[in-house]
């Protein structure tokens, strides 16, 4: 039987998702070495906790499991171990911190956190026109692009980036929209693929 979480549970999931914006703040205000160490530690910890919950180790089922099992997606509750989105978010934060300049890392991570939240909530509520075998909707994908555009404009104006930042940023969020739509086909969690795509495009504004 397919497990489908309610819209209220989806809101709760995405509230937790948005809370990861603290990582963007950390990238902004703390040294690169500190953030790399912090995100690496959190990545190992979240994988350990999720594995312990999957194996039904009492400490983890009483803590993590009691809080989050009810909002896990179907693939995250199957007999075979699957990571939730949380380790991918942490891995994305670690990745962008290591390979991208600070402003690009902050923008790419924020696009993923805010754009994906907008896509999920709008798609679940208003998504009538399904695409990609019914797993995504046109309405949700448009919401992703619009929310991501707001994030891009925010960083462009607040940090006084050149026009090329916007040009390549729009290309990046467009590419990320397709990465989000075809997540199951490219076999890469969109929490990880979105900041990678956006970050690589934004780097073109520096390199070219």
For the packed helices 138-158 and 116-126, what is the interaxial angle rounded to 10 degrees?
150
Q: Residue length, the chain?
A: 208
Q: Which residue in 208, 206, 3, 15 sits closest to 105, CA to CA?
A: 206
Question: What totals of helices (H) and strands (E) does the chain contain, helices first?
Answer: 12, 2
| 18-52 as b/e: b if 16+ CB within 10 A | eebeebbebbeeeeeeebeebbbebbeebbebbeb
pLDDT (tens place) for every residue of the chain, 208 residues total: 345 678 887 888 888 889 999 999 999 999 999 999 999 999 999 998 888 888 888 777 877 766 666 656 555 455 677 788 889 999 999 999 999 999 999 999 999 999 999 998 998 888 788 886 667 888 999 999 999 999 999 999 999 999 999 999 999 999 999 888 887 777 788 899 999 999 999 999 888 7
Tokens of 40: 């690496």
Q: Which residues are CB-neighbours of 80 under 8 A, at least 6 positions away?
A: none
* pTM across the whole model: 0.87
């Amino acid at each position: 039987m397919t497990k489908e979480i309610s819209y209220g549970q989806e809101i709760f999931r995405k509230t937790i998702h948005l809370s990861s914006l603290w990582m963007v703040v950390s990238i902004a205000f703390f040294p690169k070495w500190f953030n790399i160490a912090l995100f690496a530690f959190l990545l190992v910890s979240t994988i350990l906790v999720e594995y312990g919950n999957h194996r039904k180790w009492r400490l983890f089922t009483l803590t993590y499991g009691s809080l989050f099992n009810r909002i896990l997606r179907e693939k995250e509750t199957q007999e075979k171990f699957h990571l939730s989105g949380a380790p991918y978010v942490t891995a994305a934060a670690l990745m962008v911190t290591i390979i991208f300049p600070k402003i690009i890392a902050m923008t790419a991570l924020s696009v993923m956190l805010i754009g994906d939240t907008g896509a999920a909530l709008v798609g679940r509520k208003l998504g009538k026109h399904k695409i990609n075998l019914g797993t995504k909707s046109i309405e949700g994908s448009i919401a992703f692009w619009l929310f991501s555009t707001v994030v891009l404009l925010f960083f462009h104006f607040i940090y006084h980036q050149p026009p090329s930042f916007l040009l390549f940023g729009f290309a990046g969020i467009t590419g990320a929209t397709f990465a989000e739509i075809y997540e199951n086909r490219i076999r890469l969690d969109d929490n990880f693929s979105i900041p990678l795509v956006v970050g690589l495009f934004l780097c073109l504004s520096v390199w070219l």
